[in-house]
Amino acid sequence: MRYGSVCSGIEAATVAWHSLGWVPSFFSEIEKFPRDVLAHHYPDVPLHGDFTTIGENQYGSIDLLVGGTPCQSFSIAGLRKGLDDDRGNLSLEFIKLAQRERPRWVVWENVPGVLSSNGGKDFGSFLGALGEIGYGFAYRVLDASGFGVCQPRRRVFVVGFYADWRRSAAVLFDRKSLAGTPKKRPKIESEGALFFRGGNRAIDREWPETLSARDCNEPQLVTTENYVRKLTPLEYERLQGFPDGYTNIKDKCPDGPRYKALGNSMAVPVMKWIGERIQMVDSITS
């Protein structure tokens, strides 16, 4: 499977899909720190800037296009301008790129606020445009806490397959997950236990919502028995499913860009599950 990634961030998709043997044809990212992370880990993968300028087959044909276009215009924490915001309009630019590239699969991610933005019309416009260029699709809200990480992080995932909605539905809706049995959220432990795997005992606390880009200025707090402290970038990496030190790419790497990049990222275990489901469907239907 060859894929192209836009609004790549620090590439949760590639971390998730490497074990599947999938190969990235290109990344596209405009922010400096995430670009530095990508250049550090994937020096041989073409790194584009503004994805709206990617030409047809510029980096060769791809089987899958993945991206999480900016969520701020759809977030309940933002101004909720939806497609009237240039950032929201990038979701339609994603459609245009899919039309130019014609991959078999598309995977798109955003915040749950996209479902209610402009009374649902914005999300309807996105899905309608995806259908107009020939893709059957399915969408589902997935919570990262159900995939083994210690944070409730709900995101909307759209999976499309060219000319067939049934394959998209088969990816996102498995029989086991529809049985209605919720997974128990992992207990929260102090940094010395959960995050460094040391000997400290677990601290049974609820994890705060929504690592987000805003946390670059006000990192999330965790409560232990004796004090309240900020989460570290290492803990952010583990909460999102990244390898330890993934964003610590140089000596004295500042924390702020790491918080922001991790807050903007997809959760690696969720992307791995989606990739595994796509691979399974491909193996059955090919």
* Spacing of C-alpha 220 from chain mean position: 19
Helix or strand (DSSP H, E) at 39: helix 32-41
Q: What's the one-letter identity of residue 210?
A: T
Closest-CA residue to 225 (of 177, 247, 193, 255)? 193
Helix or strand (DSSP H, E) at 124: helix 121-132
Residue 71 annotated as catalytic = yes
Closest-CA residue to 16 (of 5, 30, 7)? 5
Asked whether the beta carbons of 66 and 13 are under 8 A apart, the reply is yes
Candidate list 7, 71, 150, 216, residue with the active-site label: 71
Q: Following DSSP, what letter does each residue of 52-110 receive, concatenated?
A: GGPPTTTT---SEEEE----TTTSTTS---GGGSHHHHHHHHHHHHHHHH--SEEEEEE
Q: How far is the CA of 117 from the CAs of 52, 56, 84, 85, 283, in angstroms?
A: 23, 31, 11, 12, 36
- Locate 175 and state its tokens: 């029989």
Catalytic residues: 71
